[in-house]
A and B are shown apart, each in its own frame.
With several copies, the nearest count.
Chain A
């Protein structure tokens, strides 16, 4: 680097000043690299051109943090150059656009605050947010996953919500991976799996928030890049939702101490994983859920007393992002003195304090009249607190450390980064025919699918999560006396209302075409929600993708976003929040592109929630929906190691019709049990219903299934969307059939008192699987 460029300017502080005007292109890149900024040359030049004086390291770090992919979502907001022209902002052109067009009056705050907010009941709002914590979990599985949960819980606290449920969707490499196949720096999937699950459980359990819903997937596309989605839902009285920071309000920081842990988490999250990440141990965050539990109490007390004018969590970027954001969103400025901060280590440089991502911290803006009371509350809850400074009208972020100025930036400049440009190639997948030999024993096939790593029971994980704490879990992850898998969790968050919050998810990373992958994920999230009785569903999108600077990854992302717009509109489900995690690359290549859709619905009476277990001998079993030969990416095909075929597509108008009548049927009480069809198709759904039921079973006559498909295995394992298997009382069947007029409906069998599943294949051959052998295959005992 050129001499004179970097100077130590203070004799008291560890503070460096960089005169960017002296820096050439090479220097700029070197600065970005050495300071861990992850800024591109364009961005560095942009800063250089606009800075009228040498910048301190604190200031440059602030740019690095604020302009990171994690904090500002630059790819989603940037220009995408395609063959057909430029797309200006994926976010505005697809995700937010659908919501805007749907224009639902019950969407109270979308894409704005730390979490999406929708109306709930009796003046209460429901808040929802889902995050990813992939990079930290790859390096330190326990701490990474735990702090992922902790972080998303703080997002709910950051909209004044009382957290009521946690969700986790996890994708790992196959547990059977051979150690020798792993490049240096990539940890074995088993090690990651154990750590991540223990971490998720530990945080939720310790904080007393039930972990109620999620999913686990295994695929070699995740061996180098583990995917950890953590979600949190909360409720709050609408009238107490304040976001109105004013001049002269105090900026109050409360919670855990600030340390070197988690320095550069965001730039770390926005960079590829490599062997070097082992050394990035400062990016490791140590979870301390007990502090967050106290922080939660204090936050709710401050909310209930209407004592603060604003709140936000400290997540990516630490103080540097939270303070700027809070001031900027209210068009204010802020003066900060760092001296009073509680530190874990004595000798931290100002920039380290400023960008530290130490966990369990929240920032509040507090009017002077309430300051004393707020401090008392923190004291009672045994929380360390520091008055950082005061908001003002300056529009600047002014930071001093022991009186010396370390940062003085105009917020407008900080919050108008240069737009990034990304190129996207057109996405094409070669249409391949899928050739599969017809098996002779469907029962055998079903049993082997039941024990497939991607389909088998998750009981051994679910039971390590407390899903009952708070006493509000009306619909559980394992339902029925024998613990069958439920489609969605139902929470009853308010004491004086029967209204339930219905939480579901949809995720289909194995469908090769990103468009239909996204479409079916949205439809699945809705379908799962409806299956238990949910309605008025809002959705959250969480993209996990590879390096967006690569045209092919970008092309696929674009295609998935197109489907998000199309199907949000067509299925009438607005997006309310979401997040993207890009740059998931490892020496093994990019992550398998993965989109998680989380569905948040409501239901008027939790007592009417429908479950999967069969209820009464002699009831009729119907299949709702049409079965096509859609085997591409299906669990059955993958279990055979086969590829090709077309993946399931979504008929949106049919899907909407089905959900409408199904909700009505559930409300009128004629649906006794319901389970949606997803991975493993009709076969797996029927088997799971039998597994969940004590003393009862069902017959499934495949000859009755409405379909053009005639081959038994295809009929049984196709993953066509918009389908449900339901139990209906015989006396109500006429009424039911009338209600579903115009919808593909097949009466496929009935409930029997023989525990298990009787399959009748298209040729009329019967085979019987007992409940106990299916249970053994599915859950291992």
Chain B
């Protein structure tokens, strides 16, 4: 068992309107930025205890399904980070 860092990103599925993104985009333009569409999501960096990279990844996906994301409206992606914080594996769904 080792402690590994996984990085989980949760965002609204395509097709869902993102009120926060909409307001942020407008504010950026008001500030003079040439900004178009904005989408907002959340990133979690989670320390997990797992036997292997694959196990950590599985756990992270399970965390999304059970708590961090709602499959009816959210997409999520998971990467296992090395200690230095660089990505080594990626999984999207």
- Tell me which of B39-47, B51-59, B67-75, B79-87 binds A: B67-75
Residues B17 and A257 in contact, CB atoms below 8 Å apart: yes
- B34 located at the interface, meaning its Cβ lies under 8 Å from any Cβ of chain A in the complex: no
- Tell me which of A284-292, A671-679, A747-755 binds B: A284-292
- Among A194, A278, A286, A291, max chain B CB count under 10 A is at A286
- A69 located at the interface, meaning its Cβ lies under 8 Å from any Cβ of chain B in the complex: no
- B15 located at the interface, meaning its Cβ lies under 8 Å from any Cβ of chain A in the complex: yes
Known contacts A191-B66, A191-B67, A261 near B16 by CB under 8 Å = yes
Residues A281 and B73 in contact, CB atoms below 8 Å apart: yes
- Across the interface, B73 reaches (CB within 8 A) one of A194, A259, A284, A288, namely A284
* Chain A nearest Cβ from B13, distance in angstroms: 8
- Across the interface, A290 reaches (CB within 8 A) one of B12, B15, B19, B67, namely B19
A286 vs B72: C-alpha distance when bound (angstroms): 11
- A139 located at the interface, meaning its Cβ lies under 8 Å from any Cβ of chain B in the complex: yes
Residues A286 and B17 in contact, CB atoms below 8 Å apart: yes
Cβ contacts under 8 Å, B70 to chain A: 140, 142, 195
* Chain A nearest Cβ from B51, distance in angstroms: 22
Known contacts A191-B66, A191-B67, A140 near B73 by CB under 8 Å = yes
A188 vs B27: C-alpha distance when bound (angstroms): 13
Interface residues on B, range: 10 to 19
A195 vs B73: C-alpha distance when bound (angstroms): 14
A290 vs B23: C-alpha distance when bound (angstroms): 10
Known contacts A191-B66, A191-B67, A140 near B72 by CB under 8 Å = yes
Known contacts A140-B73, A281-B73, A286 near B19 by CB under 8 Å = yes
- A480 located at the interface, meaning its Cβ lies under 8 Å from any Cβ of chain B in the complex: no
Residues B66 and A286 in contact, CB atoms below 8 Å apart: no
Cβ contacts under 8 Å, B27 to chain A: 194
Residues B16 and A286 in contact, CB atoms below 8 Å apart: yes
Q: Which of B6-41 contact A (CB under 8 A)?
A: 12-13, 15-17, 19, 23, 27, 30
Residues 273-295 of A, flagged 1 when their CB comes within 8 A of B and 0 if not, give: 00000101100101010110000
Cβ contacts under 8 Å, B13 to chain A: 281
Cβ contacts under 8 Å, A344 to chain B: 17
A190 vs B15: C-alpha distance when bound (angstroms): 28
Residues B72 and A139 in contact, CB atoms below 8 Å apart: yes
Cβ contacts under 8 Å, B16 to chain A: 261, 284, 286
- A345 located at the interface, meaning its Cβ lies under 8 Å from any Cβ of chain B in the complex: yes
A140 vs B16: C-alpha distance when bound (angstroms): 14
Residues B72 and A281 in contact, CB atoms below 8 Å apart: yes
Known contacts A191-B66, A191-B67, A261 near B17 by CB under 8 Å = yes
A-B contact pairs, 25 of them (CB 8 A): A139-B72, A140-B70, A140-B72, A140-B73, A142-B70, A143-B73, A188-B66, A190-B30, A191-B66, A191-B67, A195-B70, A259-B17, A260-B15, A261-B16, A261-B17, A278-B72, A280-B72, A281-B73, A284-B73, A286-B16, A286-B17, A286-B73, A290-B19, A344-B17, A345-B15
Instruction: Name A's B-contacting residues (CB within 8 A).
Output: 139-140, 142-143, 188, 190-191, 194-195, 257, 259-261, 278, 280-281, 284, 286, 288, 290-291, 344-345
Additional A-B contacts beyond A188-B66, A286-B12 (14; CB < 8 A): A139-B72, A140-B70, A140-B73, A190-B30, A257-B17, A261-B16, A261-B17, A278-B71, A281-B13, A281-B73, A286-B17, A288-B19, A290-B19, A344-B17
